[in-house]
Amino acid sequence: MSELASPPAPEGASRARLDELLSRIIDHPEQRVQISEEIERDFTQRRAVMVLDMSGFSRTTQVHGIVSFLLMIHQMRFLAVPTIEACGGTMVKAEADNLYCLFERVEQAVAASREIMRQLATVNVLLPATRRLYASIGIGFGDLLVLGAHDLFGDEVNLASKLGEDVAQGGMILLTEAARRQLDPAVVTLEERASISGLTLVYHALA
């Protein structure tokens, strides 16, 4: 069962301040431990992270050109962002065909993911087969370094990204072990394993 997340990061948790602190480590290596602790204290948030990856980039670009795929990305964001916000989440950044979003609780990320998949299935009925929108999603949970509303870093971000981009097929919602532990045991998931870069990754697929 999920517990409440930590409070939002201070207003000073910006990229400019992080860069300043990292530069101080370079200039004053003897202060590395102290400054590292300051970074972790001021930038760390315990959050659920959702990484949405659109499927079919290469195929669509080869057949219809880059403008067509950019249009599909725009359509995806137009559909997904209001759903993410309605479920209590925030889209932190968009990179190419990926969306990186934060939630206080894993339940919220799961609810948003399911609703996005439902909406995509509805929209795709009206779209030509070559222009349908598909997504795969990875969800993680843990202590993340969050730079205001601009960027985020952490092991669970990396794992959620790998699940969403490299492991999941279109329409799948996968959770890290840490994210799964935050859900009620009654939520049905299937435990799976995948080998990525020589490492065995245990994850859970929403049924």
What confidence tens digit (pLDDT) does each residue in 23-59 have? 999 999 999 999 999 999 999 999 999 999 987 666 6
pLDDT tens figures, 146-196: 997 789 999 999 999 999 999 998 899 999 999 999 999 999 999 999 988
> What is the structure's pLDDT at 5?
39
Which domains can be identified in the chain, with CATH numbers? 46-206 (3.30.70.1230)
Q: What is the pLDDT of residues 6-27, one digit of tens each?
A: 444 445 678 889 999 999 999 9
Our measurement of the distance from residue 15's CA atom to the centroid of its chain's CA atoms, rounded to an integer in Å, reads 19
Note the pLDDT of residue 64: 66
Q: Which residue has the higher pLDDT, 59 or 110?
A: 110
